[in-house]
Structure 1
């Protein structure tokens, strides 16, 4: 068992180092897009399936609540939380439409729509991102492996260069925390609320 523990920590560290090397400039670009939208009075919409749904909710909670600084709430909505809406749309239109319908209802030009998919191939995330671009939103993919079919659909692709879903998810949460920290530092000087 000790060998498996060591291996997991090693793979985790290796994935984070690969992500750091590959994504640092893209993380800066994403931070700039998020802060630009928030400064302009726009909002962030987030989505994903399974563990990525939980990550979308976590990201929204850090923005609306706080990450490390006491500051005003930032407008962010996880499209994964309304079970009545999700089940109604899935039942009436198909599961592929659950995020697209919400984007069509809630997104406005200038908003940022973030799709999280470890495979980069989630059909419902892809359809929603396409709808977001048609509306005039900035689109971000928090992806894994080679970015899948979603990478070419987004303005900013944060693709973790790993194959195993758990390690991709571990890197995703690190990137989410980093983005929240950088957004707070950019928008709120020390003591500013």
Structure 2
């Protein structure tokens, strides 16, 4: 049977991915984000939809691979409870208040909130970033495009137009934060070798 040859069309938005990444990490706003990350002991990350999944993934790996505490409100139970308590616009701010409960000023000053938005129009994220600054925390918004809502917090603009590009680029930037703080992002080869050794020692 003759094989049918089909031309696979690549998904748009990734053709110049490396160039976009390099452009972002060479901006002053990214430099500030990295410096704030390096000087913080606790990282909180939040977004909506796919961006929340990215934040959850990024926070888990920050906690695993660095000496920092990191978390994101990845539970649907948590988010829906807070939304029901107040409103969609205020739930992230309330989550931040819960996460910083009992912190003295020294702990607040060493806490960083990273908010992620594709449109830059996520009011719930922006209100939480404003609240973080009012508490004395560090705050950065990562936005795919120039935000429709502006705040005093640091803003990193990705300058991309696709949701999928924004989400993948943001996750890559979480790993850049880890790397930029002089921690190691392990390779698959190293992890496999370590697991083999661990399995051997357990026998």
Same fold (TM over 0.5): yes
User: How many aligned positions are there?
Assistant: 171
- Call closer, same or farther: CA 1:32–1:63 in 2, change over 3 Å: same
Structure with greater contact order relative to length (CA < 8 Å, sep ≥ 6): 1
Structure 2 Cα separation of the partners of residues 20 and 177 of structure 1: 14
Q: Greater helix share, 1 or 2?
A: 1
Residue aligning to 2:58: 59
Structure 1 Cα separation of the partners of residues 156 and 169 of structure 2: 10
With structure 1 as the length reference, what TM-score do the two structures score? Answer: 0.79
Q: Is contact 1:15-1:168 (8 Å) kept?
A: no
Residue aligning to 1:138: 138
Which runs of 5 or more residues in structure 2 are unaligned?
1-5, 185-203
**Alignment match of 1:161 (pick from 159, 162, 169):** 159
- Call closer, same or farther: CA 1:47–1:17 in 2, change over 3 Å: same
Structure 1 Cα separation of the partners of residues 21 and 8 of structure 2: 24
Q: Is contact 1:52-1:169 (8 Å) kept?
A: yes
Alignment of 1:116-135 (within 5 A): 116-135=116-135
- Call closer, same or farther: CA 1:2–1:179 in 2, change over 3 Å: farther
Structure 2 Cα separation of the partners of residues 13 and 182 of structure 1: 25
Residue aligning to 1:114: 114
Matched, 1:45 2:44: yes
Structure 1 Cα separation of the partners of residues 158 and 17 of structure 2: 8
Structure 1 Cα separation of the partners of residues 30 and 89 of structure 2: 28
With structure 2 as the length reference, what TM-score do the two structures score? Answer: 0.75
Which runs of 5 or more residues in structure 1 are unaligned?
187-193
Q: Is contact 2:145-2:160 (8 Å) kept?
A: yes
**Alignment match of 1:74 (pick from 68, 73, 82):** 68
Q: Is contact 1:46-1:60 (8 Å) kept?
A: yes
**Alignment match of 2:88 (pick from 86, 95, 111):** 95
Structure 1 Cα separation of the partners of residues 50 and 114 of structure 2: 15
Structure 2 Cα separation of the partners of residues 13 and 27 of structure 1: 22
Residue aligning to 1:2: 7
Deviation at 1:144, TM superposition (A): 0.6
RMSD, aligned CA: 2.1
Greater shift, 129-138 or 19-28, is seen at 19-28
Larger Rg: 2
